[in-house]
Structure 1
Amino acid sequence: MSLRDRRMTPQPPGPQKGTLDKAEVTSDQLTAASVGNVDWLRLCMQKADSHVEQDGNGFTALHMAALHGRLQCLKLLIEDYKIDVNLPSRCKWRALHLVLNQKNGKRAKECLQLLLQCGADVNTQSESKVTPLHQAAREGLKDCLAILVENGADVHAEDLQGNRPIDLCKIWCHRACARYLHNAMWNKDKEERAQELKKMEKLKRNILEMDQEALLKMAKSHVIPQQTCFCNGTETQKPPEKSIGISIKSGVLPQSKLDRMSCKLLPGKEQHKKKSCISKSLDKDTKKKRTKAMSIYDEEEGTKKGEGGGEHYGVKSICQCCQWNPSYNPTMPPVTDIYRTPTLRLGIDPEDVTGPDLSNVITLDKDEHGQPQIKTIQGQVFPSQLNLPYETIQRCLFPKTCPKERISTPNAFKANHVF
């Protein structure tokens, strides 16, 4: 083709004067944000009509400013041009991920605080489920770790490979960060456990109220028909209140009546347990009488009566051989009984049971999925929505049957055999 023919062939239209190519605008924005030139970045944004361009990987000027720790560029893009702080890239990397790197140094902390104040999601995840806390743990930024944890970062979050932030600290040998995260995880677990225990106490109160209401309804159904007795004549007679043992106005039974009626309604072993509890409460008067008689006997014998003198002092006064023998003579009879007041040895003895025991009211089982399930005597089922182990729920509901020990041996240290 000759030079003349080339001149005659139409050429493709190029960019007009005063316009910029999209690739050039994108590269200018990314370069200005990376360098930290605020005036250049503002000029690029004005030429692009305040629109942020993305490159092939989905990164924008916001991502590049965060990656290189350019605080003034971040303020310009967020405050002046209202760019979304949680804008993701193609692999769902946010500016909060990219700002956490060792190259930024002290600038990472300032940029992180700005992004969090502007509404950045502290628990955002990438495609590989990496959170900003994972990134800070990998880079070993302790100050940034503290800021993220204070703003509600999940210390138990796992990435796609199952690694937690503390695992990454151990892999990359960041000891200070690992200690901080270990302490933060311990505090978080204690707070969650305290909240779950409060829910457990609320559930216990609801169960006790429902059981009391059910007992009152059953008591009324058994007693109220006996209140009215009709004669064959014209008069209607009512038995006195004392004979029935109920207040007609209030319709509430005393506690002793409720206990007896609850024994009748409870089947099998539960009824036997309830009757034994009532019999123990009724035997208190006889015990008091015995203690008075034994105290009179002690005064006659000339022994001193201690405070709260129960059955023990009476036995001690009767059996003279149980007294302390100060002699060193081996032919003397040995001391058969030495009484000492029981003392609490901290760390060994179990704690006193103070909460109510619901063994006569409910039963604790597991459903098909292995989750705890509470059943009442009336047949109502309460699926447990508590994030607590089965043993902890059992100890809270039945404190008398499962006393809480002060020292529990770890399962890994229990010996299965001698050799």
Structure 2
Amino acid sequence: LIQERVESNNCEWFAAALGNLEWLRFCLNPDLEGFLTDNKGFTAIHFAAQKGKLECLQVLVEEYKFPVDLPTKNGQTPLHLVIHKENKNVVLPCVHYLLQHGAALNTQTRNGSTPLHLAAREGLLSCVKVLVKNGANVHARDAIGCKPIDYCKIWNHRVCARFLKDAMWKRDKKDFAYEMGKLKGLKGRLALMQRYYLTEYQEEQQLLRQADFKKWLHHKPLPRGQSLIHSIEQEPPAPSRAIPVSKTPKLSKHFHLFPQEHLQQTSQPKLQPSVSSTPHYRHPTVRQPKPWNISNNPARSPTAQIGSPQGIRLGVNPDPSLEHNLSGFLKIRSDGQGGTHLCTVTGKQVAPVPRLPLEVIVRELYPHMRPCRMKVPQGFHSVSIQDVDRKRYLGDNTFWTDTLAMNLRETFDEAFLAAVQAHQGLPILPCP
């Protein structure tokens, strides 16, 4: 019985590899549970995919319910096996069929290879385009850290490399725009949190000021025999007397009202006093001349109003940004692994943080902080002329001079050269 089963398995695999549908249906046993595999984990669908037999794939998937992502012991799926140089003419229909039935695009084998890695290695441009169009990860890395474009460079598939480079650029831009959208939403939520924090802080400070005022008022020294509470509670209010207008005390020049009293006075209409007030001097109103009439007919109104010229900014710094600034509410620091930590002044951690460079997050959340106008290149620093590499090595017995002195020796006169050599204690150089 075991020998007959093994022979039937071999027939099933051969039929799938050759693409013989009648033989395949005859060998398959629908009553048998599970899928028969060889020592590498290959089944009939793997053999059919490896040889690019589309009709066999349709029969196995639709009639016998073979999974399209059935892996082997090495982690290969039918989509991995169908991408091969020998299947160059039939690979596209098989790939389209497997993708329509839900085949995973970014499944990795044991060595980390995705279907896009295999297509790039084989130089199958049409297959690469189909995989990328359906959402394959162009930045996926295998076990040795190579991307699909790296295999195009290794095997000199230039057309595939150009296409993948363009796809990677577009994907980076799309991901950056998506992360920037998340950062905009996070900034809006942080601005709302900052508003609530400032409101609570102002209320707390107002309560503290009131408490301090009451404390100061309680400890304020009063005349002997008088109590502040007694005078407020027991003493009847003094009757209001009508004060003539002429005897009202004049306010000092430097007297300032509280904002509440100022609002009350400005809101109430001013009553005209019954007593005749003395006339006061009014400043003459200066009228600006009308704009110049640029029309040909002086009797007509000007065709266009010439407004005042805009002010010319003489500074070199850019205009201040009108965006909301969170520098006083949020602290930004790097986590040392390419990520960013956001922490509010209350000690609350903000998560999740968009996957963007630290400079981009700082520029977005701190719009008032402008970067330096000129970035110094990495490793750029001042170097002494004595540290500059020389064209030839001068030994200990050779007179030392630097490149600058050698170049300028022909420019100076004899008197200057003699004075310089005498000052440095070096032998006098002969004049050319």
Cα pair distance change 1:185/1:368, threshold 3 Å: closer
1:358 aligns with 2:326: yes
TM-score normalized with structure 1 length: 0.64
C-alpha offsets along residues 340-391 of structure 1, whole Å, 9 cap, x if unaligned?
A: x8899xxxx9797342222233232234767422233333333562211111
- 2:192 is matched with 209
**For 1:316-395, what aligned pairs fall within 5 Å after superposition?**
353-367=321-335, 371-382=339-350, 385-395=353-363
Which of residues 44, 61, 69 in structure 1 aligns to 2:52?
69
SS of the equivalent of 1:365 reads strand
Contact 1:350 1:404 in 2 (8 A): no
Q: Structure 1 residues 155, 395: CA separation in 2 closer, same or farther (over 3 Å shift)? A: same
**What is the Cα-based RMSD across aligned positions, in Å?**
4.1
Deviation of 1:202 after TM superposition, in Å, equals: 1.8
Deviations 1:386-410 (A, max 9, x none): 21111111111222212598xx989
Check whether the contact 1:85–1:95 (CA below 8 A) recurs between aligned residues. yes
Q: TM-score, normalised by structure 2?
A: 0.62
**Gap change, CA 1:362 and 1:82, over 3 Å in 2:** same
* 8 Å CA contact 1:25, 1:48 repeated in 2: no
Structure whose alpha-carbon radius of gyration is higher = 2
Whole-Å separation in 1 of the counterparts to 2:87 and 2:233? 102
> How many percent identity over aligned positions?
35
Q: For 1:363, what is the secondary structure of its paired residue?
A: strand
Change (3 A) 1:197 1:24: same
Matched, 1:307 2:308: yes
Aligned ranges for residues 225-244 of structure 1 at < 5 Å? 232-233=232-233, 242-243=260-261
Q: Which residue of structure 1 lines up, in the alignment, with residue 113 of structure 2?
A: 130
- Provide structure 1 residue ranges, at least 5 long, that are not aligned to the other structure: 1-14, 247-291, 300-304, 313-340
Alignment of 1:9-408 (within 5 A): 21-46=4-29, 49=32, 52-223=35-206, 232-233=232-233, 242-243=260-261, 307-308=308-309, 353-367=321-335, 371-382=339-350, 385-403=353-371
- 1:95 Cα deviation (Å)? 0.6
Rounded to whole Å, the distance in 2 between the matches of 1:410 and 1:108 is 52
- Secondary structure at 2:170 match in 1: helix
**2:341–2:353 Cα contact (<8 Å) kept:** no
CA pair 92-381 structure 1, distance change in 2 beyond 3 A:
closer
Judging changes above 3 Å, is the alpha-carbon distance between structure 1 residues 189 and 83 closer, same or farther for their aligned structure 2 residues? same
Amino acid at match of 2:61: I
SS in 2 for 1:21: helix
- 8 A contact 1:373–1:384 mirrored in 2: no
Q: In 2, Cα distance between the equivalents of 1:411 and 1:101?
A: 47
The 1:195–1:158 alpha-carbon spacing in structure 2 relative to 1, beyond 3 Å, is: same
* Corresponding letter in the other structure for 1:199: K
Deviation at 1:22, TM superposition (A): 2.2
Partners of 1:87 and 1:351 in 2: CA distance: 61
Instruction: Note the C-alpha offset of 1:105.
Output: 2.0
Which residue is 1:302 aligned to? none
Question: Structure 1: how far apart are the matches of 2:148 and 2:46?
Answer: 23
Residues 399 and 101 from structure 1, CA distance in 2 versus in 1: closer, same or farther, beyond 3 angstroms? same
Q: For 2:37 and 2:164, how far apart are their aligned partners in 1? A: 36
Change beyond 3 A, Cα 1:220–1:243: farther
Matches of 1:42 and 1:165 in 2, distance apart?
38
Contact 1:351 1:403 (8 Å CA) reproduced = no
Contact 2:74 2:109 (8 Å CA) reproduced: yes
Once residues 106 and 325 of structure 2 are traced to their aligned partners in structure 1, the CA distance between those partners, rounded to angstroms, is: 42
Deviation at 1:50, TM superposition (A): 7.5
Structure 2 residue identity aligned to 1:387: R
Bigger helix fraction? 1
Contact 1:25 1:53 in 2 (8 A): no
Give the conservation status (yes or no) of the 8 Å contact 1:45–1:51. no
d(CA) in 2 for partners of 1:404, 1:149: 40
Summarize deviations over 1:282-318 as a string: whole Å, max 9, x none. Answer: xxxxxxxxxx99x89xx9xxxxx962465x7xxxxxx
Structure 2, unmatched stretches of 5+, are 215-227, 236-257, 265-284, 293-305, 389-432
State the aligned residue count. Answer: 312
Aligned-pair CA distance for 1:222: 4.3
